[in-house]
Chain A
Amino acid sequence: MGTELLQLAIYGVVSGSILTLGAIGVSLIFGILRFAHFAHGDLMTLGAYFAFSMVVGLGFPVWASAPFAVAGAALAAMTIDQTVYRHLRRASPIILLISSFGIAIALRSVVQLIWGPHNQVYQSGIQLPWRIGDIVIKPDHVWIVLGAVVLVILLHLFLTRTKMGKAMRAMSDNMDLALVSGIPSERVILVTWAVGGGMAAVAGIFLGMDTRLHPVMGWSLLLPVFAAAILGGIGRPYGAIAGGMVIGLAMEMSTMVINPTYKPAVAFALMVLMLVVRPQGLFKGNP
């Protein structure tokens, strides 16, 4: 019982790390652009497949292909913004949400067109896990958690130490005041997409390392990602970290009592519960 709990906690932290990286992007984008970005899961997928191309095509190790995938997904996110969302800046959030839904489907189709509809993996063969007593830890799990921790620290430094990071927080805090202060909103928005897209790519790669690559891998993670962002208080990137961990742990722990197929339902239930009990999230969100 104790071992099982600990084992599930480890899985929970691993999926929590992946969710966190996705939820940070969702939260940042919501804070600054004021809409729920439904294509975020598919941005994760795109990033995962960019890395896949480097691994399979050029024989890169996964870690070395990550920077290229991050750059690729960041560029894709900025391009989508400039070609689609930019024209909808003054549209109502629901219009933006629906268009991001469209982008999500388009991205997924492109991925399927290029890389095919089948399951794929970065590395075939069996990775020997480490055993500590009865606990099993895969080396990949360690890399995923460490990678997420490093990225969260980097994001924190960016948001608190750099002028651009502070401008992102300022815009999320008070858009009108940011404008009258002369903060160049379009530039800040581009950086937001770059950061959100880059983080999504890493989340996608980690998801691919943890499971496998498939065109709907990111889409099926979208619900838990949103649950994490909402739980943490949407618009609050720091809340997304806590939200990601809570959802990740809750989803894995729930498998002790219910069928693992219902994991997303657990995330959904938590999200609904949070919206009813404390709509502003664990940390005061910015709805």
Chain B
Amino acid sequence: MTLLSIEGVTGGYGGADILHGVDLRVEPGEMVVIIGPNGAGKSTLMKAAFGLVKIREGAVLFERRDITPLRPDQIVRQGISYVPQEQNVFPSMTVEENLEMGAFIRNDDIRPQMDRIYNFFPRLAERRNQVAGSMSGGERQMLAMGRALMLDPKLLLLDEPTAGLSPIFIDQTFDRIRKINEAGIGILMVEQNAKQALAVCDRGYVLTMGRNRIDDTGPNLLANKDVAEMFLGG
């Protein structure tokens, strides 16, 4: 059963449409990446899957259920978690409190899941009582992913997870994302580091001006001449 299916979505933030009939799907456990030039609507497309975009036409299905009319706080209960690009932590709260907030809607014991996340991001365990606002960009990105994983989602949406990070943190972040994916969690991400992203993903979508341009497997896109010219620096 297809995990996420975006079907012919047209819409934006209330003004002019940004997306024009875009299709995209993510199969269970798959890692899918969206690339494209600035202003192509990459982030908007991902937000459309999370109820953050006004969809005028088309539909978003999650496990074949229509989630188009749902609000973000309802979608998160369906099993999708979203990590915004910026301001993706609660800066005045500690690492541990951030993780707790990620699990706000859970009423059971969140300790085991929190321990799993601390195992997965040892850096967060070291800093569990530190205030998130005082951490480095790379650490914050880990915390943001940790927060989103507290609900043990089936699909994780990542908006440019490596933006603004130093090369060493970029590698680490890609490594963690791959590991999350290996645990069976589907991933849909928008990435500027197209080369690295295409190298780790299963499939990719190239978006231009709010329309589907090319979609193919990661290796095929890496080998594609047009894609190379457009995004991979020749």
Contact = CB atoms under 8 A, between A and B. Distances in A.
A181 interface: yes
A169 B104 CA distance: 13
B77 A174 contact: no
B101 A183 contact: yes
A209 interface: no
Interface of B: 50, 52, 72-73, 76-77, 82, 84, 87-93, 97, 100-102, 104-105, 147, 151
Contacts, number: 61
B77 A182 contact: yes
B104 A173 contact: no
A177 B93 contact: no
Nearest to A188: B104
A173 B131 CA distance: 12
A169 B92 contact: yes
Contact of A176 (B84, B97, B100): B84
Given A163-B100, A166-B100, A167-B101, A179 B73 contact: yes
25 contacts: A163-B100, A163-B104, A166-B100, A166-B101, A167-B104, A170-B97, A173-B90, A173-B91, A174-B87, A174-B89, A174-B91, A176-B87, A177-B87, A179-B73, A180-B52, A180-B73, A180-B76, A181-B101, A181-B104, A182-B77, A182-B104, A182-B151, A183-B73, A183-B104, A185-B73
* Chain A interface helix/strand/loop/mixed: helix
A276 to B, nearest CB: 25
Contacts of B92: 169, 173
B74 to A, nearest CB: 8
A177 B90 contact: yes
A233 to B, nearest CB: 11
Given A181-B147, A184-B73, A169 B90 contact: yes
A169 B102 CA distance: 13
A196 B52 CA distance: 31
